[in-house]
Amino acid sequence: MEMKRPGGELASRPLHFIWIADSSGSMGDDGKIQSLNTAIREAIPHMKKVAEDNPNAQVLVRAVKFSNGAQWHISQPTPVADFAWTDLTADGETDMGKALELVTEQLKMPPMSDRALPPVLVLVSDGQPTDDFDGGLKALMEQPWGKKAVRIAISIGQDSDADVLQKFIGNSELKPLAANSPEALVKHIKWASTAVLKSASSPAAGAEVPAGTDTANVPIPTAAPAAGTATQTGTQNTGATRGTPAGSAGDPNDQNTVDDVW
């Protein structure tokens, strides 16, 4: 049952959460694609709980995969309560720019609504783009909802292109999250699926901004927490995912540990 405000206006506003997942051939090495599938699947129940606790947002989830070109892996904006993950397989190149172009088309108005909350885009990759990444990012940033989006990046392994992921985030203080083991990947995926989603669906994120403004107020978590620690937030003016440092998970030294396998 949809909630309504006293004037009859729907209280729930759409929040589009989009996974942008690398399914190139290198993701087939060392179990990386299996670990990504597992991490996202394990995060779904936590996403559902966040959505239940934030009734002002209607969380809609979908996913893009990129290898030789890019395709919608899950094309329909699916209410998180009904969302189920379909496993990715690994093959081909790393056409990240085409993935951003696909997302850009869906952030135009229409199909986006002017009453939506800032979308959350989570880019996960283990390599370097093999196409025109800069062109894809430029197209994304030319769209108001592209600029307003909360953009998070997760690097898998030592061969990912940190500079490219940093460009996607668009803020020098907010760093890509480095996942050099399956355990770290699970932790970062859960953080993006819960702490970031909760911030983006908060009342502050839905605050009205002047017409023509390219930014939105989104309280971005300060860091991806280490296991068992809390996440602090601070309201930031989010155009290019501005926020306080996310760095790694809690302790910056645990980006590279004896448990690294990638």
Instruction: Say how far apart CA 26 and CA 20 lie, in whole Å.
Output: 16
Position of tokens 């699970």?
186
Instruction: Say how far apart CA 129 and CA 261 lie, in whole Å.
Output: 22
Q: What residue type is 104 in one-letter code?
A: T
**Tokens matching residue 162:** 């940190």
Q: What share of the chain is helix, strand, coil (3-state, %, to 5)?
A: 35, 25, 40
Delimit the domains of the chain by residue range: 13-255
In this predicted structure, what is the pLDDT of residue 37? 98
In this predicted structure, what is the pLDDT of residue 4? 46
Instruction: Say how far apart CA 131 and CA 36 lie, in whole Å.
Output: 23
- Secondary structure (DSSP) of 146-157: HHHSEEEEEEES
Neighbours of 61 (CB within 10 A): 28
Secondary structure of residue 216 in the 3-state scheme = strand
Instruction: Say how far apart CA 259 and CA 219 lie, in whole Å.
Output: 32
**13-255, what's its fold?**
Rossmann fold (3.40.50)
Rg (CA), the chain: 17
In this predicted structure, what is the pLDDT of residue 172? 85
In this predicted structure, what is the pLDDT of residue 240? 38
* Cβ atoms of residues 153 and 169 within 8 Å: yes
Instruction: Say how far apart CA 135 and CA 98 lie, in whole Å.
Output: 9
pLDDT, averaged per 10 consecutive residues of the chain (262 residues), comes to: 44 93 97 98 97 94 98 98 98 98 97 94 97 98 96 96 96 92 97 94 61 51 46 40 37 47 83
